Every structure is written in C-alpha cells, then in structure tokens.
Amino acid sequence: VGLFLMDCVSLAGWWLVVQSRVQAWPRPSLSLSPSHDVALGDRVTLQCHVPRQGGRATLHKEGVPHALWYQDKVWGAAEFPIPAARREDAGRYWCRYEIKGEEPEESERVGLVLRGE
C-alpha cells in the first residue's frame, strides 16, 4: 500500500491538490547462487527477492529486448535456474516485479561472470 502526499498548487487563483505517490515498499533485489566462481557448465540460479506476495516477477538481461522468464503469484522469491551455464549466459541481469494496477519496480543490475571469461 503506497503512501500519498498532498501538494497544493496555485494556478491563476485556483488551487489544485496534487497527489504524489511515495514508495512504501522496498524494491525487488536479484541475487545469484552461487554468487561467485561460476564456470562453464555449472548450475546457477538467479533469485528475484520480492517485498510482497501475489505479483509477477520477470527476469531480464541487458541486450535482450524482452523478458527471459516470468513467474506469477510470487511469494518471497522467484527462482530462475540456469542448469548448465554457457558463454552466452554471462552478462548483466535484473528482475522486475509488478502487481496488477501498480507501477512495476526493478532491481539493481547483477553481473553473471563465468570463471575464465
């Protein structure tokens, strides 16, 4: 549930009340497991940790114009496994979390670096 602030603006003698939304929930966060020392062929899981239940989490990678995966009705964390890491899996990822009717929130970018790359 968001908090709202009321701002008053005067335009030619008329007063307008403007509502502005203040973010009350933390942003989602993305983590890798394992977080370091991933080699070609290793299993790695990207986990999108979300602040509330019931929304959709999507996983994104820089350079890819669409979401790679999604999971609905997330509670706690959505997991996106890579069973055997390939060279093309290296890169910067982020997750996006949205609940219907609200603005989506994005995590910070996280880099997947493969050992020996």
At 6-25, the pLDDT tens digits run 444 444 444 444 444 445 67
Beta bridge partners of residue 42, listed in sequence order: none
How far is Cα 110 from Cα 117, in angstroms, rounded to an integer?
16
In tens, the pLDDT along 21-51 reads: 445 678 999 999 998 889 999 999 999 999 8
* Residue 43: count of CB within 10 angstroms of its CB: 12
Res 63: pLDDT: 96
For the cut 80, the answer to whether the pLDDT of residue 66 exceeds it is yes
To the nearest whole percent, how much of the chain has pLDDT over 70?
Answer: 79
List the domain boundaries for the chain: 29-112
Q: What local confidence, expressed as pLDDT, does residue 42 receive?
A: 96
| Whole-prediction pTM | 0.76
Q: How far apart are CA 95 and CA 3, in angstroms?
A: 24
Domain spanning 29-112 has what CATH number? 2.60.40.10
Distance CA 93, CA 111 (A): 6
